[in-house]
Amino acid sequence: LTEIIDENIIGGTIIKMGDKQLDTSISRTIKELKQSFNKNLYIKDF
């Protein structure tokens, strides 16, 4: 087990095992929120 502190992830954890990765970092969550806001799912109907 190797512990690396990366301030760029803001909080949470990133666990890597072989070719698998579990990312529960706050920076990933913020990135996903930004991507969802960029998608305009609302269709104006007026």
Q: How far apart are the first and last CA of the chain?
A: 57
Domain, as residue range, for 16: 7-37
* Residues whose CB falls within 8 Å of the CB of residue 46, separated by 6 or more in sequence, listed in order: none
What's the confidence (pLDDT) of residue 46?
A: 67
How does DSSP assign 18-44, residue by residue? TTEEEE--HHHHHHHHHHHHHS-----
Strands 14-17 and 20-23: antiparallel
Contact between 32 and 20 under an 8 Å Cβ cutoff? The reply is: no
How many folded domains does the chain comprise? 1
Q: Is residue 42 part of a domain?
A: no
What's the confidence (pLDDT) of residue 6?
A: 93
What's the confidence (pLDDT) of residue 20?
A: 97
Per-residue pLDDT tens digits for 1-46: 889 999 999 999 999 999 999 999 999 999 999 988 888 777 667 6
